[in-house]
Structure 1
Amino acid sequence: MQGESGRKFASVGLVIDNFDVILIVDKSSNFEIYDSLISSDTKVYIEQLVFTFCAYHDIKTSISIRVVQIPPRHSGFGSGTQLALAIGKAISEIYKVKCSVRKIAEILGRGKRSGIGIAGFNYGGFLIDAGKNNEKTDPPPLIARAEFPKEWPLLLILKKDVTGLHGEKEKFALQHLICDSSVSVDQVCRKVFLGVLPAILERDFESFSAGLNFIQDYMGELFYKSQGRSKFLSPEINNLLGWLKKNFLVSIGQSSWGPTGFAFFKDEVSLAKALTAANKKLVINETLELRVVKAKNSGFSQNWNQ
């Protein structure tokens, strides 16, 4: 949505396994970050999160943070939101501060456009938010959630050493989106609520695939000029997903601004056949990394050593 209805930036998303942010956070005499897994930019971002959250609640920054796992940043995994919420939640527990996940997001500046990362952190599963209210600063509210079929595997296609639009470049692109599609926003909303969502609830992969492909075609046209006149940020991912769509029953797309692409399959057998054929046809570029994951239908978890 682009604001005509009083809302904009409505989002659809799915939480997946094996791409979580995992942290070990504890009290410490000094503020410390054990950063062997992260870039200098991510270290600076963590520092900003801690100082902002602690300053808001007027508590000390005497904590240590060890990053055990973090998804690639600016690649469509919502790692910035995951990281912010995980740090805010951990500090809240350590210092016995009552603070909801949505409040943590507000304090740390998350959810300015999409509410999927916040809802995903809380609940997991397949999620739809209502978009941003033009008159409010609150994160978009969650309006639908469904348990996603675990039997539908998801092939992730990552592009090495490439990031999607973020920061000021993303803001500029969003302000200058031009869509020449004949498809209306109303049609996309109808496809989400009367196509994709019922198909998930009824375990109807064919209808799900058709609905999500319809939405991705629209999003590809919307992002077309911002992505170098392409429906996908990465030409290599575009080629592989196009080949999969042409030869197999799949539902394809790009996560946010990419570059990560994805393809849903009806079952593990179909996925295995597709990967075997793709390797034989040499359509998997050497710059790509493939990962097979499944839906995660639960939110964050925490363990405390007393």
Structure 2
Amino acid sequence: MTDAVSQEWGVRIRTGCRVSFTLIDLNGETGRRNGMASMALRSPALEAVVLPHHSTIEVEADENGSAHVEAVRGLLERLREAWQGPPAKAVIREGLPPHRGFGSGTMTAVAVGRAYAQLAGVSVGAAEIARAAGRAGTSGASANLIERGGFLVDGGHLNPDDFADDPQRYLVPSRFAGGGKRPPALVSTPFPTWPVLIVIPNGNEMHGEEEREFFARTLPIPAEEARRTAHAVLMNLATSVVESDYTSFCRAVNFITYESYFKQKQIDMQSSEVKFLLEEARRGDEIDAMAMSSEGPMCYAFTRRPQAAVQWLSALRSAGIVHEFWFSGARNVAADIDWVPVLDDGRTVVA
């Protein structure tokens, strides 16, 4: 659009969330570290609009998005300076629940940054935005999924020459790893049309210094355990998704949740309610497979018996184990980015 027209138009971006099956290699002795098996979901969703503004960068957000206002403002100020871009106002209309396991920090930053790039007339991909935001230092899940959707396995990062001297320096959560080269997508494929049952138990929201201290205590994991996880992801989880083999997929998910080394450490940090939920899912007939995303507390499940699963979760909600739950599904497409009209009062008139 021309400069004359662009003052009457903003840019809207809509995308889903990221859920994690597992980080892959948290030992690093092979020369690479991290990597993640992940997927994009339709719900919860993220919607933001970036509008022309008077002279500064401003950011507004709903309750969920408010956790990321300062980080987004800082990102947009850096992008404006780097691109000599226009002043803008970002409005996070529908934010992702923070610190639950939905990848809200990276997804929000990359999404709003992509919208600002279009407003500024800059052709740039999600990887560059993530680097500017200081993200994707652990996995390329969120940056890749915004551009692809679906199921993803990324290859993590090449270790620096001094990795062996102090592995814990580099085996850190994403927000402390800094921005870097986006990890390559090893597997990127649509996820089958299997419903995904999102479950929010009453659990711990681990982030910030608490998460960093957890990584420092736990990593590096034994090399053999990293190999077991990598094998499970590439030879079982990913292949079952590509072949739409539900039974094999559920077997792989349950191995990661209940038998893989690092996931067990993550679950150990969770509340008694989360542990109870996972054990009941394993013992009962209502759920075929259940995963916990990142450090939780959000879990997501797969079932062929939705009515029985809902009845089971309703009882757990009444008992104070579960806060809320709903059915979602994979988002197998990239983020939607489009121009929207801006009225004199700053409102946009699009559904």
* TM tier, smaller: 0.7 to 0.9
| Structure 2: distance between partners of 1:43 and 1:22 | 14
Aligned to 1:146: 189
Aligned to 2:309: 274
Name the aligned partner's letter for residue 140 of structure 2. Answer: G
From the two aligned structures, give the one with the greater strand fraction. 2
TM-score, normalising length from structure 1?
0.87
Change (3 A) 1:239 1:128: same
Aligned to 1:54: 80
| Deviations 1:72-94, CA, capped at 9 Å, x for gaps | 11211111111111111111111
Change (3 A) 1:167 1:180: closer
| Deviations 1:152-194, CA, capped at 9 Å, x for gaps | 2212121458422x22332232232158889632222222122
Aligned to 1:184: 225
| Number of aligned residue pairs | 296
In structure 1, stretches of 5+ residues that fail to align are none
Aligned to 2:200: 158
**1:243 is the counterpart of 2:280:** yes
**1:66 is the counterpart of 2:91:** yes
| Structure 2: distance between partners of 1:63 and 1:278 | 44
Name the aligned partner's letter for residue 294 of structure 2. Answer: S
Change (3 A) 1:134 1:287: same
**Root mean square deviation, CA, Å:** 2.6
Name the aligned partner's letter for residue 100 of structure 2. Answer: S
Shift of 1:34: 3.0
Sequence identity of aligned pairs in percent?
A: 24
| Structure 2: distance between partners of 1:280 and 1:77 | 25
| Deviations 1:74-126, CA, capped at 9 Å, x for gaps | 21111111111111111111111121111111111110101111111110111
Shift of 1:294: 0.7
Q: 2:262 aligns with which of 188, 198, 222?
A: 222
Aligned to 2:239: 198
- TM alignment of 1:165-180, pairs within 5 A: 166-177=207-218
| Structure 2: distance between partners of 1:94 and 1:158 | 36
**1:19 is the counterpart of 2:44:** yes
| Deviations 1:118-144, CA, capped at 9 Å, x for gaps | 111110111101111113941221110
Change (3 A) 1:26 1:180: closer
In structure 2, stretches of 5+ residues that fail to align are 1-24, 162-179, 342-351
Does the CA contact (< 8 Å) of 1:17 and 1:295 recur in 2? yes
Does the CA contact (< 8 Å) of 1:232 and 1:254 recur in 2? no
